[in-house]
Amino acid sequence: MDAGLTNAEQRELENRLQKRQVKEFMNLFSGLVDNCFVSCVDDFTSKALSGRENGCLSRCVLKSMTTQTRLGERFAELNQAMTAEQQGKQ
């Protein structure tokens, strides 16, 4: 992507990217909670999660993480292809 950073600059960049990754993970987590709660929990006759709701939440997390992984792979492939095409045009 670029060839112009010194070692010190590279370290600073990695530092920032690491902080960004932590933030991204927190966003992923809270997004997961919100999304799975909205999809799975709708019975307020009790203040404890029902067995059905519990099961749904587990399946929701599982499916969401599998989706993340799969789309992560697709994204990397597609992004690489797009970048290559853009460079070809230049």
Partner 1 sequence: MSLFGLGARQPTSAEKISAVENELKVIAEMHTRMIKICSTKCLDKTYREGELSKGEAVCLDRCSAKFFEAHQKISDQLQQQQQQQQGGGGRF
Assess 43 for contact with partner 1 (CB under 8 A): no
Residue where the block lists tokens 């070809």: 88
Cα–Cα dist 61/29, whole Å: 10
Assess 4 for contact with partner 1 (CB under 8 A): yes
Cα–Cα dist 38/35, whole Å: 5
Among 24, 25, 29, 33, binds partner 1 (CB under 8 A): 24
DSSP codes of every residue in 58-76: HHHHHHHHHHHHHHHHHHH
Binding site for partner 1 (CB under 8 A): 1-2, 4-6, 8-9, 12-13, 16-17, 20, 24, 27, 31, 36, 39-40, 56, 58-60, 62-64, 66-68, 70-72, 74-75, 78-79, 81-82, 86
